[in-house]
Amino acid sequence: MNRYPTDQRRRDLATIHMAKKQLGMDDAAYRDILWSVARVRSSSELDQAGRSKLLDHFKACGWKPTPKVNEWAFIDKAAPDRRPLLKKICMVCKSMGVGKAYAEGAAQRQTGIARKLEMMDEGQLWLLAGVLERTRKSKERAK
């Protein structure tokens, strides 16, 4: 089952509403723009082309999208002997569609200690990698 279109739609709609808020639009002005740009009264009625046109319009109005932050960037700064293990954790998380916070939450459930991945020792990282891999395989079997 491909969830990309639904996930992309949700991200686009969230971005549209953040842009609306950042531009300080009231609801009436927002609905007028929706109508003039895409001939709809609600963003839920927008197709991909309409969402793209609306975001382009917001950019023309002065909205500047915030750049995405790479939550896994710390791996490049980690000790060379820990990088492969951190990359493994990153890849498993990405394959499940979860982020760094999920991995840290799994580690906290496992050890009872809230700790950032950057602060875990090698033994804790090995255990976490194993837990995440078993979780990934379990979720794949459940599909």
Tokens of 33: 């723009």
DSSP line for 93-118: HHHHT--HHHHHHHHHHHHS----GG
Digit-by-digit pLDDT tens for the chain (143 residues) are 444 567 789 889 999 999 999 999 999 999 999 999 999 999 999 999 999 999 999 999 999 988 878 899 999 999 999 999 999 999 999 999 899 999 999 999 988 888 899 999 999 999 999 999 999 999 899 87
Task: Report domain extents, the chain.
Answer: 4-60, 73-142
Check: CB of residue 64 under 8 Å from CB of residue 108. Answer: no
Tell me the one-letter amino acid at 114.
A
Tell me the one-letter amino acid at 92.
V
